[in-house]
Structure 1
Amino acid sequence: MKRRSVVLGIGATAGVAAVGGIAVSAQASSETASDSSSSSSSSDGLVFDPDGYTEITTTLTDTGGTAHDVTYHFWKAITYVSKPVDEKYQSLIVSVPVEIDGKAVDASNAPIVLSNVIAGYVESSVAAATGIGGAAMGGTPPTGGGGPSASPTASASATASPAPPSGGGAAAMPQMALLAGYVVVEPGARGRTTTDSAGEYYGTAPAAIIDLKAAVRYLRANKGRIPGDTDRIVSAGVSAGGALSSLLGASGDSPLYDKLLEEIGAADASDAIFATGAWCPITDLEHADGAYEWNWGSNVTQSAGKVVDQTVSKDLQSQFAEYQATLKLRGLKGSGFGTLTARNYDDYLLKQYLEPSATTYLTALSDSDRETYLAKNTFITWANGKATFTWADFLTHVGARKKTTPAFDAFDLSAGENNEFGAGTTKARHFTAYGAKNDTTGLTTKRVASDIPAKLDLMNPMYHLVKKANPKRTKHWWIRLGTNDTDTSHVISANLAAAAAALGDDVNHLYYWDQGHGANIDLPDFVAWIAKVTGYRSA
């Protein structure tokens, strides 16, 4: 049994960063790092070693600014499949609290928070991690084009206002979950930018979701050996990680993935999870271009400062209207809205999400700060403690859109999502008929490849909620989006919420006022929500 007390004095250690309100060590202990190359368990047997941990004592500061002395057990990179394509990415780390502020913690039956930091559908690795919060991007998503934001942390737009107190940060998820007494698992996963010696892309769709499912199977196969309740796994992710988190929840135990999981030697166990946390999910990719244009089509772009091609924008808006009609989704219970269509979705977003979001934000301000804010934002009518405004004024308030058109399946194959659907030595491919038809790169064919439709099903949670209504899906959903987030359309998360609610699932879906892509300003509430939905009560 390996037990070392590695004291990390966070406030005085070199290489310390404040992440989402929590002071986080930059894995600074030379003693811990010295043997990071060894694995905590055998990759062929997929058996978790309960005694293979390092004991770490450190200080973590919560989002309220209070410092806590924490001792936890840490398991270094464990390969979670028996036939890995790349162990650097197909491994996970485990952190289990044993003492917080001098009080012993028994996490043997605590919820397990599966926290990924995947962004831009780029690979993520924990291979070199020597402590909690050790997941790191394996590459940097290209800038420009229509690709999603690379940053998993909160990034407010130019018009954003400071968040009210008791905020958080998506990158702080592992630390906050640990402080709550939960078991924290951080999985790595393959991603779209990696190539092998032959130049073949081995991490494009659906590799990331296959890897996350394999990580869940590893945990569930080790019930009774790994600390925590393997029947209470809660996934959390942001942006592309949020999309994958929602997909993980929607597609639990779907047979569509069985062959691919078998190929990498995933454990013979369930990959269903108990609850999903998804922030600004970049998902429903084959319909994302239309949804984006419906939402932001009239706004100028940040890069060019002008309105995008309106012919293309209107074509895509028409496609969205047709798609939305096929979903036959209804507004959430109590919203007063029936079937959601392209014609009434703006009113639905206003009444169900945007005006309540602004009201919550303004209510939390002091009287003087509220008065100042309203003076600068005269489009808002503030009466009887409620904010009201029009959709057109809201779009003006948000301002420039981030992406050009099409936002996701770019005509020139420059979007990150084009790379996500690459195959073999081909870096990027079209995944919509419209994108392929209007290709500007000189392709000889104007059609999507024959394997694309099946891959889209594997990558879309809506397939498992609307088309198939997967009975093994998660029944608990936490979904968040910033109102100033122009990396995606507001419709995407709202449709996800409506689809889950239509199946009778527990859905907690809110928008953060004036926050941009990756925002997470109520992380303590999410941590409390986990206890509520899992029924967990710490000793």
Structure 2
Amino acid sequence: MGLTAAGAVPALGFAPEAAAAGKDGTVGNGGTVGKGGATVGSGAAADASLVFDPTAYTEQTISIKDTTGTAHSVTYRFFKVASYVAAPVNAAYQSLNVSVPVSIDGTAVDASDAPILFANAVGGYMPSSVANATGISASGMGGGTSRQGLALAAGYVVVEPGARGRSLVDANGTYYGTAPAAIVDLKAAVRYLKFNKGRVPGDVERIVSSGVSAGGALSALLGASGDSPLYDPYLAEIGAADTSDAIFASGDWCPITDLEHADAAYEWCWGANPLASGATVDAPISADLKAQFTAYLAALKLRAKGYGTLTARNLDTYLLETFIQPSATKYLAALTDTARDTYLAANPFITWSVGKATFTWADFLTHVGARKKNAPSFDGFDLSTPECNLFGTGTTKARHFTLYSLRHEAGDSARLDADLPAKLHLMNPMYHLVDKVNPHRAKHWWIRLGTKDSDTSLSVAANLATRLTALGDDVDTAYYWDAGHGADLDPGDFVSWIGEVSGHQGFRSRSGSRGK
């Protein structure tokens, strides 16, 4: 990988502007006035700290393999932004990197109007930092190329933001990365890009987020909650730019979300499955939580074409026929005849007829096997789960965020802390899609999940996709057969999809062809 310091910057097809404006079109020594009257930035120094410098880059050349294994030589400019907010709590996490292709296999690239892949690397709601990165994160899981690498080789701009996370604690013992810090930071990073429209490379109106697990949840939340005023006080506090944080599209892999209902959903889905040790979970607790899911699903009033209103009684059939059996069918159809016969012989619960796989829900659960988590899976009674830490506050490391777990430990009269309902709304995309339908949400969605992923219920991603479809959004959802948590089996298709929904051609064919 070559690394060359940049001097004068040749034209990339984008024209730096003299100043970047906020929503009200103002910028300058007085700062900008945000929604609700909050002042974001104060004076020329604060404004300058949010201005992207198009001359501050290093130029690098990297070899990137596409999904066919073909290597491509990509020369790109790598920009490091010290902080995307004017008043960072910890700039090591509130910073971002921008990678802009300038040539691919010797052919010049103009990325001035290219879509922007906004790829967060959050896992487990932990802190994520890009401050020490010296280039794009091009290596993916299993030795393959990351979505970022494929996107760069497709001619897209790639932004990799950092964000605060639940484990961060200052010298006074105060936790400063708990909810809603991570989503606030990602929104601030989006605002930074939009604040610098015409200065930062790429089309800031075509930002496509991506993330896996907790990062997938945050990507979904970023897509669902665009421009929600609920976040404004938090954004003002860290000096975020006063502009839109709505994004164009959202890519979400195995999102660990809808946390206040996740324990109930988990028992509905995996309640009958044993733990890896062979032991079973506490049956009364599992039954209590499963009953809660029945009530929750009824309250959602989700509807799906051909199924009517989804309930706890027909949701398994809906999941099977809409997501899981098609996943098995696609997997088996791609095998050779010999390999397919071998797989079917080892898995006789599958009926293979006329090129389609069918099976029962009970047999599918047996096929998946051990569940990964005990009950409750997210709001653990002993407060040891990551999600309890996520909802910690001040010097309190972890808190219960469901009445069920709280009252199990503290008695039937216990009440959730007063701030928790609002924070749960801030962390749940479903709130912005069901309770308060957000017209500024992303309208294009890519949702993926492995069928053997028992990190959360298979219903979580399905509920998200079903609600978005009902709202009229463009939703591309698929489950990967026999895949576990974090799987991404069609990254080239995702990158091609970005080109399709954004209307950008570029070099997208280099990432791999889009399967139909």
TM class, shorter-length: 0.7 to 0.9
Give the TM-score normalised by structure 2: 0.88
Partner of residue 290, structure 2: 317
Offset at residue 61 of structure 1 (A)? 1.7
Counterpart amino acid of residue 387 in structure 2: E
Matched, 1:255 2:229: yes
CA distance 1:175–1:290, shift in 2 (3 Å)? same
Matched, 1:224 2:184: no
1:375 to 345, 352, 374: 345
Partner of residue 70, structure 2: 66
Matched, 1:345 2:315: yes
The residue correspondences of 1:6-21 to structure 2 (distance < 5 A) are: none
Partner of residue 534, structure 1: 502
CA distance 1:153–1:415, shift in 2 (3 Å)? farther
2:454 to 468, 472, 486: 486
Matched, 1:460 2:395: no
Partner of residue 24, structure 2: none
Offset at residue 111 of structure 1 (A)? 0.1
- How far apart are the structure 1 equivalents of 2:279 and 2:141? 28
- How far apart are the structure 2 equivalents of 1:228 and 1:474? 18
Partner of residue 504, structure 1: 472
Matched, 1:390 2:393: no
2:281 to 280, 287, 308: 308
User: In the alignment, is the contact (CA less than 8 A) between 1:84 and 1:265 conserved in 2?
Assistant: yes
User: In the alignment, is the contact (CA less than 8 A) between 1:438 and 1:446 conserved in 2?
Assistant: no
Counterpart amino acid of residue 76 in structure 2: Y
User: In the alignment, is the contact (CA less than 8 A) between 1:77 and 1:128 conserved in 2?
Assistant: no
Offset at residue 502 of structure 1 (A)? 1.3
SS in 2 for 1:212: helix
Matched, 1:436 2:406: yes
SS in 1 for 2:49: coil
Matched, 1:408 2:378: yes
CA distance 1:271–1:443, shift in 2 (3 Å)? same
CA distance 1:488–1:84, shift in 2 (3 Å)? same
Offset at residue 483 of structure 1 (A)? 0.1
User: In the alignment, is the contact (CA less than 8 A) between 1:241 and 1:281 conserved in 2?
Assistant: yes
Counterpart amino acid of residue 100 in structure 2: V
Offset at residue 448 of structure 1 (A)? 1.7
Divergent runs of 4+, >6 A: 442-445
Matched, 1:282 2:256: yes
Partner of residue 244, structure 2: 270
Offset at residue 251 of structure 1 (A)? 0.2
User: In the alignment, is the contact (CA less than 8 A) between 2:137 and 2:149 conserved in 1?
Assistant: yes
Matched, 1:236 2:200: no
- How far apart are the structure 1 equivalents of 2:414 and 2:376? 16
Partner of residue 425, structure 1: 395
Partner of residue 148, structure 2: 174
Counterpart amino acid of residue 207 in structure 2: I
User: In the alignment, is the contact (CA less than 8 A) between 1:124 and 1:189 conserved in 2?
Assistant: yes
Deviations 1:337-359 (A, max 9, x none): 11111010000011001110000
Deviations 1:151-186 (A, max 9, x none): x957xxxxxxxxxxxxx96x8111111011100000
- How far apart are the structure 2 equivalents of 1:444 and 1:81? 43
Matched, 1:91 2:95: yes
SS in 2 for 1:406: coil
Offset at residue 102 of structure 1 (A)? 1.1
The residue correspondences of 1:36-75 to structure 2 (distance < 5 A) are: 45-75=49-79
Give the TM-score normalised by structure 1: 0.84
Counterpart amino acid of residue 457 in structure 2: S
Counterpart amino acid of residue 353 in structure 1: F
SS in 2 for 1:125: coil
Counterpart amino acid of residue 388 in structure 1: T
Matched, 1:326 2:299: yes
What 5-or-longer segments of structure 1 have no aligned partner?
5-40, 136-151, 155-167
User: In the alignment, is the contact (CA less than 8 A) between 1:328 and 1:339 conserved in 2?
Assistant: yes
Offset at residue 62 of structure 1 (A)? 2.0
Offset at residue 45 of structure 1 (A)? 2.5
Partner of residue 163, structure 1: none
Offset at residue 57 of structure 1 (A)? 1.0
- How far apart are the structure 1 equivalents of 2:288 and 2:419? 25
Counterpart amino acid of residue 274 in structure 1: F
Partner of residue 492, structure 2: 524
- How far apart are the structure 2 equivalents of 1:483 and 1:63? 22
Partner of residue 21, structure 2: none
1:108 to 83, 108, 112: 112
Counterpart amino acid of residue 71 in structure 1: T
Partner of residue 38, structure 1: none
SS in 1 for 2:476: strand
May I ask how many residue pairs the two structures share in their alignment? 467
- How far apart are the structure 1 equivalents of 2:141 and 2:389? 23
CA distance 1:342–1:498, shift in 2 (3 Å)? same
User: In the alignment, is the contact (CA less than 8 A) between 2:254 and 2:448 conserved in 1?
Assistant: yes
SS in 2 for 1:229: coil
CA distance 1:207–1:134, shift in 2 (3 Å)? farther
Matched, 1:366 2:336: yes
SS in 2 for 1:223: coil
User: In the alignment, is the contact (CA less than 8 A) between 2:391 and 2:399 conserved in 1?
Assistant: yes
Deviations 1:361-396 (A, max 9, x none): 000011111111111111000011000000000000
How large is the RMSD of aligned CA atoms in angstroms? Answer: 1.9
SS in 2 for 1:230: coil
Offset at residue 478 of structure 1 (A)? 0.5
User: In the alignment, is the contact (CA less than 8 A) between 2:301 and 2:310 conserved in 1?
Assistant: yes
CA distance 1:443–1:132, shift in 2 (3 Å)? farther
- How far apart are the structure 1 equivalents of 2:62 and 2:180? 37
The residue correspondences of 1:123-134 to structure 2 (distance < 5 A) are: 123-133=127-137
User: In the alignment, is the contact (CA less than 8 A) between 2:64 and 2:138 conserved in 1?
Assistant: no
Offset at residue 222 of structure 1 (A)? 0.3
Partner of residue 512, structure 2: none
Matched, 1:299 2:273: yes
Offset at residue 2 of structure 1 (A)? 4.2
Offset at residue 191 of structure 1 (A)? 0.1
- How far apart are the structure 2 equivalents of 1:363 and 1:505? 29
Deviations 1:397-427 (A, max 9, x none): 0000000000000011111000000011111
Offset at residue 63 of structure 1 (A)? 2.5
- How far apart are the structure 2 equivalents of 1:244 and 1:214? 13
Counterpart amino acid of residue 345 in structure 1: L
Offset at residue 445 of structure 1 (A)? 7.8
SS in 1 for 2:146: helix
- How far apart are the structure 2 equivalents of 1:502 and 1:399? 32
- How far apart are the structure 2 equivalents of 1:305 and 1:77? 50
SS in 2 for 1:438: helix
User: In the alignment, is the contact (CA less than 8 A) between 1:482 and 1:515 conserved in 2?
Assistant: yes
